């Protein structure tokens, strides 16, 4: 049975598009995923995870400026969304806003529980600090990321 998206109720349609977008992103079809997330947002403008997933897909295809805007919307909807801050830090870094990227990474680190996402935020901040020549602080962040990654895999 082929699912007819146009006949579904609006919240259900947004959810179906989001699921399909996540599947497409997981298999590397980020441009197709972006279309699904963008359409899902037209039906549901209040779910921050739609914006986070859309922003991440935009980052994967190199559209950092738009990713920054989309991830900022997610943060406006939920100021405690650590992954949104972590992803926005990458967008800010890519568009040359290193100080803001460090701030976003720091917020993400403070919001996220120990685990892979927090390790990634430390890793991202470490890369930015290293790029800015702050090797000692970068080294500390890399060590924290490694510790969190090891704890998760043991």
Reported confidence tier of residue 139, pLDDT bands at 50, 70, 90? very high
Contact yes or no for 109/147 (Cβ under 8 A): no
Instruction: Compute the distance between CA of residue 127 and CA of residue 113 in angstroms, rounded to an integer.
Output: 21
Stretch 62-86: mean pLDDT: 97
pLDDT at position 10:
78
The 10s digit of each residue's pLDDT in 85-100 is 999 999 999 999 999 9
- What domains sit in the chain, N to C, each tagged with a CATH number? 7-153 (1.25.40.10)
pLDDT at position 6:
52
Stretch 121-145: mean pLDDT: 97
pLDDT at position 2:
44
Contact yes or no for 88/71 (Cβ under 8 A): yes
Stretch 115-121: mean pLDDT: 96
The 10s digit of each residue's pLDDT in 26-60 is 999 999 999 999 999 999 898 999 999 999 999 99
Contact yes or no for 73/51 (Cβ under 8 A): yes
Reported confidence tier of residue 25, pLDDT bands at 50, 70, 90? very high
pLDDT at position 83:
97
pLDDT at position 1:
38
- Is residue 7 pLDDT above 60, yes or no? no
Query: 71 vs 19, 39, 135, CA distance in Å?
Result: 19, 16, 28
Query: 21 vs 31, 59, 84, 104, 138, CA distance in Å?
Result: 9, 14, 17, 25, 34
Q: pTM of the predicted model, to two decimals?
A: 0.88
Mean pLDDT of the chain: 92
């Amino acid at each position: 049975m082929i699912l007819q998206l146009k006949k579904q109720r609006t919240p259900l349609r947004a959810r179906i598009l989001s699921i399909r977008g996540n599947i497409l992103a997981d298999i590397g079809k980020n441009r197709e995923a972006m279309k699904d997330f963008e359409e899902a947002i037209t039906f549901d403008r209040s779910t921050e995870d739609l914006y986070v997933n859309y922003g991440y897909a935009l980052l994967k295809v190199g559209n950092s400026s738009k990713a920054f805007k989309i991830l900022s919307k997610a943060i406006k909807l939920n100021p405690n969304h650590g992954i949104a801050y972590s992803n926005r830090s990458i967008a800010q870094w890519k568009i040359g806003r290193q100080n803001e990227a460090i701030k976003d990474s720091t917020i993400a680190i403070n919001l996220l529980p120990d685990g892979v996402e927090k390790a990634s935020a430390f890793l991202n901040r470490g890369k930015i600090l290293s790029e800015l020549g702050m090797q000692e602080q970068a080294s500390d962040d890399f060590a924290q990321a490694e510790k969190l990654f090891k704890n998760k895999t043991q």
